[in-house]
Amino acid sequence: MALFRQNDHPLVATPNSSESWRAWLASRSETFFLYARQQTRCQSDAEDVLQEALFESWRRAGGLPPDNALVFATIRRRAMDLARGNDRRTRREGDAGAVEPLFVVDYTASDTRLQLVECVQKLPEHLREVLVLKLWGDLTFPEIAQITGVPVNTASSRYRYALEQLRGALSNSF
């Protein structure tokens, strides 16, 4: 039984080859980083968590591109471990740190699009987490439910609620 579902990836799977590692990162790393930033208090924490999580997931998959759900779950667990270990000083630094945009901002884009980026960043964490896992992580609701530790119906309703909040904030442009 294969425990880890390999991604549908156009790679010749040679365990732990630099080529497959780089190709995998090129296709997924920005989405993983987006999720890591959400789960941590500052960008440097997100970088540490992401590096550890990617290495761990890669090793657990035997040196092959691991399942996306496994990587997201590992990022989440690593971020929670870090948060438990963080002292109050780190927390203050994180709160005071500049907030980099989560998405590539094209300032020539329409106002609605810029507003959409802003609204996504302002969503409550638990709603934004589901939105990111669903839209950019390409996960199913059962996978999201497993990662976030909530029932499938809750994951699904959080996603709908996030979209409703965005629609409301954008004055029903969509």
Partner 1 sequence: MSPYDPLENELRSLRPGPLPDGLRQRLASPPEMASEIESAPHWQWWTALASAAAAVVFTLFFQGGSPSISARPLASSRSERFIDARSLGFVDDGSRRAWELVELEFLDEETLVSTNGTLAMQTQTVRRQIVPVELHFD
Cβ-contact 36, 43 below 8 angstroms: no
Minimum CB distance to partner 1, residue 89 (Å): 22
Q: Which residue number, 11 or 88, has a Cβ lying nearer to partner 1?
A: 11
Minimal distance, residue 134 CB to partner 1, in Å: 9
In angstroms, how far is the first alpha carbon of the chain from the final one?
Answer: 45
Tell me how far, at minimum, the Cβ of 125 lies from partner 1, in Å: 17
Q: Which is nearer to partner 1, 82 or 147 (CB)?
A: 147
Please check whether residue 115 is in contact with residue 170, taking contact to mean a CB–CB distance below 8 angstroms: yes
Nearer to partner 1, 1 or 88 (CB): 1
Closest alpha carbon to 73 in 159, 4, 14, 121? 4
Q: CB-wise, 88 or 99, nearer to partner 1?
A: 99
Nearest to partner 1 of 25, 86 (CB atom) = 25
In the complex, minimum distance from the CB of residue 88 to partner 1, in angstroms, rounded to a whole number: 26
Alpha-carbon span 113 to 160, nearest angstrom: 20
CB of 109 to partner 1, least distance (A): 10
Phi, psi of 52 (to 5 degrees): -65, -45
Tell me the C-alpha distance between 67 and 5, whole Å: 5
CA distances from 87 to 92, 123, 125 (A): 9, 26, 21
Summarize as ranges the residues that interact with partner 1 (CB under 8 A): 1-5, 15-18, 20-21, 25, 29-31, 33-34, 43, 47, 50-51, 54-55, 58-60, 62-63, 67, 69-70, 73-74, 77, 100-104, 113, 116-117, 120, 131, 135-136, 142-143, 146-147, 152, 159-160, 163, 166-167, 170, 174
Closest by Cα among 11, 16, 45 to 28: 11
